[in-house]
Amino acid sequence: MNGRKTGSNAMWGGRFAEGPTAVMRAINASLPFDKRLWQQDIAASKAHVAMLGAQGILSAEDASIIMGGLGEVAAEFASGALPEDPALEDIHMATEARLAELVGPVAGRLHTARSRNDQVATDFRLWVRDAVDAVDAGLKTFQSVLIDRAAAHADDVMPGFTHLQSAQPITLGHHLMAWFEMIARDRSRFADARRRMNRSPLGSAALAGTGFVIDRDATAKALGFDGPTANSLDSVSDRDFALDYLSASATCAIHLSRMAEEIVIWASQPFSFVTLPDQWSTGSSIMPQKRNPDAAELVRGHAGRILGANIALMVTMKGLPLAYSKDMQDDKEPVFEAYDLLELSIAAMAGMTAALTFRTDRMRALAESGFATATDLADWLVREADVPFREAHHITGRAVKAAEERGCGLADLPLDVLTAIDLRIDARVFEVLTVDASVASRTSHGGTAPVKVREAIAAARAALEEDA
Cβ count near 439 (within 10 Å): 29
- Which of 257-294 are b and which e, b meaning 16 or more Cβ less than 10 Å from the residue's Cβ? bebbbbbbbbbeeebebbebeeebbeeeeeeeeebebb
CA-closest candidate to residue 84, choices 75, 76, 16, 66: 76
CA dist 119 and 44 (Å) reads 8
Q: How far apart are CA 203 and CA 212, in angstroms?
A: 10
DSSP β-bridge partners for residue 170:
158
Active-site annotation, residues: 163, 284
Residue 165, classed as helix, strand or coil, is strand
Interatomic CA distance for residues 245 and 235, integer angstroms: 17
446: left (phi over 0), alpha (psi -120 to 50) or beta: left
Please report, in angstroms and rounded to a whole number, the separation of the first and last CA atoms in the chain.
46
